[in-house]
Amino acid sequence: MTDATAKSPSANLAPMFISHGSPMLVARQNTPAFDFFVGELGRHTDGVRAILIVSAHWQTDAPTISTAEQQETIHDFFGFPQPLYDLRYDVVGDPDLAGQIADQIDIATDDARGLDHGAWMPMVLARPNADIPVFQLSMLGHGSPKDHYELGKKLRGLRDLGVLVIASGAMTHNLRVLDRNEGPIDPWATEFTDWMLEKVKAHDIDALLNYRSLAPHAAMAHPEDDHLMPFYVALGAASDGFTPDLIHNSYEFGNLAMTAVRFYDQGAIKTAA
C-alpha cells in the first residue's frame, strides 16, 4: 500500500472504508483502533464540506439518503452498558446537499432517518465537536458485491461537491467465534484480510467481486456478508486508477479485523497540492 498523506482538501475527499467494530469501541481506550479513530481518522476528515456514510446497519430495498436536519443518534444494539445508550452525537445533516445528491444519482430520500452506530460511533471519536454535517446512504438489503460496487460508482461525483464518502462495515465479522479473552489472532482472519488487501493493491476487481468463492476462509470471515458490502461501495466510489492506502490494520477479540483503507486519485491530489 502507498504511504500517501492528506496534505490538501482533495486528498481528504478520497473514498474510505473503515471497520467500525463493536459498540464498545468508544470505551475501549487502550486499543490501536481507538487511537486510530480519535487521531488519524479525524485528520483524514479535516476540511471537507460534509460526510456521507454508508453503514452496514441501514439496509433498504432501494438506495435511500437521509435528509434530516438534525441527525438522531440511533442505538441499534442490545445488551451493552447503559452509558452507551446515554451517549448522543448531536450533529446536523444537510438536507439541501443530501437532496441535491439524491437528485443527481436518482435515489429516494428519508427525512426522519438518523445515524446508526456504524455511523455515529466513528464520528463521535473522530469529530467529537460535530463540526461537519453527516448523513447516511443506505445499502441494498439483498444486494451483491457487484450491486454495491455499481452503487459506489454513482458516488464518484461527490468529490466535486466537497463530500467525503465513508463506508463503514467490517473486514471480518463472525460474532460467533469472537475471543472475549483477547487471545492470539486467528490465522483465518489474517489470511482473509491479506487476500482482500492484495487484490485491492493489484486492482483485481473481478476477484474482489467474487470473494465468496475465491478468498480463503470467506464463509468464516463473513457468515453473512452484510458487513463487507460497504467495502464495495467505497471501492466503486474510487476512480478507476485509484491508489490504495492502508491507514489502519489491527485486530480485536481474536479475529475482528479493524482494517481501514482509503482509495486515492493521485492525479486529483497532485493537481490540488
The domain spans of the chain are 11-272
Summarize pLDDT for 64-112 with one digit per residue, the tens: 999 999 999 999 998 888 988 999 999 999 999 999 999 999 999 999 9
Q: To the nearest whole percent, how much of the chain has pLDDT over 70?
A: 93
Q: How much is the CA Rg of the chain, to the nearest whole Å?
A: 17
- Burial class of residue 183 (count of CB atoms within 10 Å of its CB; 0-12, 13-18, 19+): exposed
Q: What residues form DSSP beta bridges with 19?
A: 169
Containing H/E element for 115? none
The closest of 270, 258, 265 to 21, measured between CA atoms, is 258
In the prediction, which pLDDT does 6 show? 39
Q: pLDDT tens digits for 158-184? A: 999 999 999 999 999 999 999 988 889
Distance, in Å, from the CA atom of 45 to the CA atom of 14, rounded to the nearest integer, reads: 10
pLDDT score for 28: 77
**Would you state the pLDDT for residue 269?**
45
Rounded (5°) CA angle 157-159-63: 55
Provide the pLDDT confidence category of residue 8 given band limits of 50, 70 and 90: very low
- Which cell numbers in the block locate residue 220? 468464516
pLDDT tens for residues 113-159? Answer: 999 999 999 999 999 999 999 999 999 998 999 999 999 999 999 99
pLDDT score for 93: 97
Count of Cβ atoms closer than 10 Å to residue 160 Cβ: 9
Region 199-224 average pLDDT? 98
| Kind of pairing between the strands at 256-257 and 251-252 | antiparallel
* Residues 200, 261: Cα–Cα separation, whole Å: 10
Beta strands 91-92 and 70-71 are antiparallel
Annotation: CATH topology of 11-272: Protocatechuate 4,5-dioxygenase; Chain B (3.40.830)
As a whole number of angstroms, the distance between CA 148 and CA 116 comes to 19
pTM, 2 dp: 0.93
Given a cut of 70, whether residue 271 has pLDDT beyond it is no
